[in-house]
Amino acid sequence: MNFTYSEEQQMLADTVTRWAEAEPSSQGMFSEERWTRLAELGLLGLNVSEEYGGLGSSPVETLIVMQAFGRALFSDPFMPTAVVAASLLATAGSATQRSELLPRIVAGSLRLALATLEPGGRFDLADIGTTAVRKADSYTLQGRKAVVLHGDSAQLLVVSARTSGAQRDADGVTLFLIDARAPGVTLKVFPTIDGQRAAEISLADVYVPAAAVLGDIGSGYLPLEWALDKGIAALCAEAVGAMEKLMELTTEHLRTRKQFGQPIGKFQALQHRVADMQIAIEQARSMALMAAAMVDHPQRVERRKALSAAKAMIGRSGNFVGQQAVQLHGGMGMTAELTVGDYFKRLTCIDKTWGNTEHHVELYGDLL
């Protein structure tokens, strides 16, 4: 095992970090220009094999890029499209789907969103009440989808629907690729805590051709679970980047802000808080690396435990570091003027994306 970046990895880290930090903030809104630049840099092809014009990189490269994005508070549909959907299409997609869609992801002309959660189902990917009923060579979908991140800017939705089984069965979940503007698809778009966009989607008699089925009928759960694990690994890396940056902002404040005639960083109570934050960050960093190491592990149980462990730890660490950064900035930490609050809010959102700490502790416990 070796934790030192190779020359190429170091170059990727430097390039993406510099570029992302120089990019103007998009205030959480989707930016078409920025998406084009992501494509030009080749980053949208990280998780697409060379066969389809991508780079076919390892999870370490995704970790490097996401960490840089985390530092720069870079909120884009990158993770859902270029990490989760790209991975999902590569494993579950038909030859036609792969050759039609993957090159478009790489080129920056296709974005996908994951419509995989439902109201009342919390983070459970099997708690699916949306139905897909087959009629000859097509399906009709009926149901509601919850908190579809970046649903507003996606052309295609990955929708999980039930083709058999009971509400919370993993078996019987089928994945569909649905045009976000198809008749019967209605999006209500809401801002998230950190200013990104998520959609509540209703599906009313949505007609889908059988060719839009992604993967095998009734067997969508496992490939979806794995693809979302790829997303979790990416989020963990993003969180580490955000925490690193937050720590830099906080220590700078403690060195320069003076009270009682000295920098407030001289006070031991605050020093110990900083130490606690540093410990939390290092634990999170270890777990982000473990997530990258384990996300392609051939044994599902080993992979799942590792990814849930990582996400649970990231949630805990991210919440702690975010909260303490606000605390150590005093009143200024509460204002919208400083970026500290933006990082805090982003970390808060990361905990609640693809399963919060409680959810992943539960999943881990089920496999104990």
Partner 1 sequence: MDLRESPDTLKFRAEAAAFVAARLPADIRAKVLGFLRVEREDYVRWQRILYEQGWGAPGWPREHGGTGWDARQRTIFDEECFIAGAPRQMPFGLSMVGPVLQAFGTEQQKSRFLPRILTMEDWWCQGYSEPGAGSDLASLTTRAERRDDVYIVNGQKTWTSFAQWANWIFCLVRTRTTGKPQEGISFLLIDMTTPGVRVKPIRTLDQGADVNEVFLDDVSVPVSNLVGEENRGWTIAKFLLGHERTNIAGIGMCKRLLHRLKDVARSETKHGKPLIEDTRFRDRIVKVEIDVRSHEWSLMRVISLEQAGKPVGAEASILKIRGSEIQQEIAELLMECAGPYALPYLPQALDAHFAGETAGGASLNGLAAQYLDLRKVSIYGGTNEVQKNLIARAVLGL
Q: Contacting partner 1 (CB under 8 A), which of 26, 142, 286, 348?
A: 286
Positive/negative CA dihedral, 47, 51, 53, 58: positive
In angstroms, what is the minimal distance from the CB of 263 to partner 1?
6
Nearest to partner 1 of 304, 345 (CB atom): 304
Place of tokens 């109201």: 119
In angstroms, what is the minimal distance from the CB of 234 to partner 1?
15
CB 54 within 8 A of CB 81: no
CB 118 within 8 A of CB 146: yes
In angstroms, what is the minimal distance from the CB of 3 to partner 1?
4
Nearest to partner 1 of 178, 294 (CB atom): 294
97-101: long-range contacts, CB 8 A cutoff, minimum separation 24: 97/177, 97/214, 98/52, 99/52, 101/156, 101/177
Q: Binders of partner 1 among 348-367, rule CB under 8 A?
A: 361-362, 364-365
In angstroms, what is the minimal distance from the CB of 170 to partner 1?
20
Q: Binders of partner 1 among 123-162, rule CB under 8 A?
A: none
Count of residues that interact with partner 1, criterion CB under 8 A: 41
122 binds partner 1 (CB under 8 A): no
Site track for partner 1 across 244-273, x = CB under 8 A: ---x---x--xx-------x-xx-x--xx-
12 binds partner 1 (CB under 8 A): no
Give the length of the chain: 368
Q: Contacting partner 1 (CB under 8 A), which of 203, 243, 313, 347?
A: 313
50 binds partner 1 (CB under 8 A): no
DSSP states of 340-362 as a string?
HHHHHHHHHHHHTSSS-HHHHHH
Angle formed by the axes of helices 59-71 and 7-22, nearest 10°: 30
299 binds partner 1 (CB under 8 A): no
Q: Binders of partner 1 among 59-118, rule CB under 8 A?
A: 60
Alpha helices in 23-113 (DSSP H): 32-40, 59-71, 78, 86-92, 95-107
Q: Contacting partner 1 (CB under 8 A), which of 39, 41, 182, 274?
A: 274
Burial (CB count <10 Å: 0-12, 13-18, 19+), residue 67:
buried
Angle formed by the axes of helices 221-256 and 300-328, nearest 10°: 30
**Cβ neighbours of 335 (radius 10 Å):** 10
Which stretches of the chain bind partner 1, using CB under 8 A? 1-6, 9, 60, 247, 251, 254-255, 263, 265-266, 268, 271-272, 274-276, 278-279, 282-283, 285-287, 289-290, 292-293, 306, 309, 312-313, 361-362, 364-365, 368
